[in-house]
Amino acid sequence: MNKTLTSVEDAISIILKRINLLPSNEIPLINGIGRTLSEPIISKLNNPPANVSSMDGYAIKNSDLEKGIYKFNCIDESIAGKKSIKTIKSGETVRIFTGASIPSGSNRVILQENTKVNSNNLIEIKYNEINSNNSFIRQKGMNFKIGETLIDKGVVLNSRLIALAVASGNSWAMVRKKPRIAILSTGDELSKFGDLIDTGNNEKIISSNGIFLYNFIKQLGGDPFFLPTAQDNLKSLELILHQSQGYDLVVSTGGASVGDYDLVQTALKNQNFKLLFWKIAMRPGKPVFFGVLKNIPFLGLPGNPVSTGVCSIVFLKKIIQAFLGQKIIDDISYIRLKSDLEKNDHRQDYVRSKITSNVKGDQFVSPFLKQDSSQLSIFSKADSFIIRRPNQGKIKKGTKVPVITMPNLI
């Protein structure tokens, strides 16, 4: 590998060593969607709170069936939230409904459809129920018990998990504070989001990278903020960099590569920026740099839209996960190639691709023919990246290859 380039693995290691776990605060669970737990959710209740019926029917003593008793006198009924206070004796039954507590003396429920009321108003069990081994009773605490850990720390809360937490008697949860992430877009060629651009001679382009980063950060649990768009001159950049204090991370897009007008690193050096690496052995995304600006981590991404997207998935996602105490993982699957891939050079490629399935459900991954890092249209159609390790030889069709699947949220 070219010694002037940092490997992807080393870059990730360098970055994560500079990311500190954020503090916690307590929030009501009703506001918990998308938040990351800093402490586990522990059940405060038993569920169900008592032995309850799983079906509508009649509660009896199972020993009566063993004695050959199949006709019963109904003495009461038990409904959810209002348990019968009667104690069932031999030859007696209580009408019971789903979710109702099992009356004292009973240890079996006979399904309603397997009974009939005879001429003497006795409840008679049909023959097909007599030999059933199912008691149709949900035992106390079958769902969860007091003191049981229901949701581990580091888990992102969704609507199902919040419902579980609330059902277990919890109203509040300890979560990680959202990382405050500043977004800095640079370039004289950029036009603000929402501005109309003349399709004639105007050479301006809309700053879509900033919008991508804003939504990417937000959907992964961060709190994004836009810094003013910087022009390609030192004075403009330095003024804006002064506004970056107070954030947990600054992410810039553009101005990372070599060029007379790519001045981000120059402006940063004038602010006592500590550069930890610049240029990575990856494609797209080679010009990425990372360092520390007055104790604030600073991630510099290239200006090409696809490079920004790929580097966000490879690096920025992990940074947010580290801030929040989540497991730092890539969504990697191994899927068969639908076409050959030529040999790779010294850089690790992230090949934009599409996953398809045949009638049998077998998955295949197809690389797009065009891999230009400026083609946002291709990036938007891709649902995955094929990972090509540095200096990897030709890979033939049908070979299983590592694939990062892009989450639907991006």
pLDDT-wise least confident of 14-28, 162-176, 203-217, 309-323: 203-217
For 242, residues 6+ apart whose C-beta sits below 8 A from its C-beta are 271
Residue 154 Rama label (left phi>0; alpha psi -120 to 50; beta): left
Q: Are 166 and 23 in contact (CB under 8 A)?
A: no
Task: Give per-residue pLDDT as tens, 259-268.
Answer: 544 678 888 8
Question: Does domain 52-138 correspond to CATH entry 2.170.190.11?
Answer: yes
3-state secondary structure of 95: strand
Q: What percent of the chain has pLDDT over 70?
A: 90
- Provide the residue ranges of all domains of the chain, joining segments of one domain with +: 8-22+178-324, 24-43+156-176, 52-138, 332-405
Average pLDDT over all residues of the chain: 90
Q: Are 384 and 404 in contact (CB under 8 A)?
A: yes
Residue 191 has pLDDT above 80, yes or no: no
- DSSP for 326-338, written as a single string: ------EEEEEES
pLDDT at 185: 84
- Number of CB atoms found within 10 A of residue 127's CB: 8
Task: Give per-residue pLDDT as tens, 194-250.
Answer: 665 555 556 666 778 999 999 999 999 999 999 987 777 788 888 888 888 899 999
Residue 127 has pLDDT above 90, yes or no: no
Domain spanning 8-22+178-324: which CATH class is it, in words?
A: alpha beta
pTM value? Answer: 0.88
Residue 187 has pLDDT above 90, yes or no: no
Structure-token match 């090949």, residue found:
351
The whole-angstrom separation of Cα 226 and Cα 210 is 8
If 0-12 CB within 10 Å is exposed, 13-18 middle and 19+ buried, where does residue 13 land? exposed
**Which tokens belong to 158?**
């969704």
pLDDT at 260: 40
| Rounded (to 5) percent helix, strand, coil in the chain | 20, 30, 45
For 223, residues 6+ apart whose C-beta sits below 8 A from its C-beta are 178, 179, 180, 181, 217
Domain spanning 332-405: which CATH class is it, in words?
A: mainly beta
The whole-angstrom separation of Cα 265 and Cα 186 is 12
Residues 271-284 have a mean pLDDT of 93
Measured CA distances, 7 to 254, 282, 290 (Å): 21, 8, 13
Do the strands 205-206 and 190-191 form a parallel or antiparallel pair, or are they unpaired? Answer: parallel
Secondary structure letter of residue 323 according to DSSP:
H
**Which tokens belong to 142?**
């079958």
The whole-angstrom separation of Cα 171 and Cα 21 is 25
pLDDT at 16: 98
Residues 120-148 have a mean pLDDT of 86
Q: Are 137 and 54 in contact (CB under 8 A)?
A: yes
pLDDT at 264: 82
3-state secondary structure of 129: helix
Residues 162-184 have a mean pLDDT of 97
Task: Give per-residue pLDDT as tens, 338-360.
Answer: 999 999 999 999 999 999 999 99
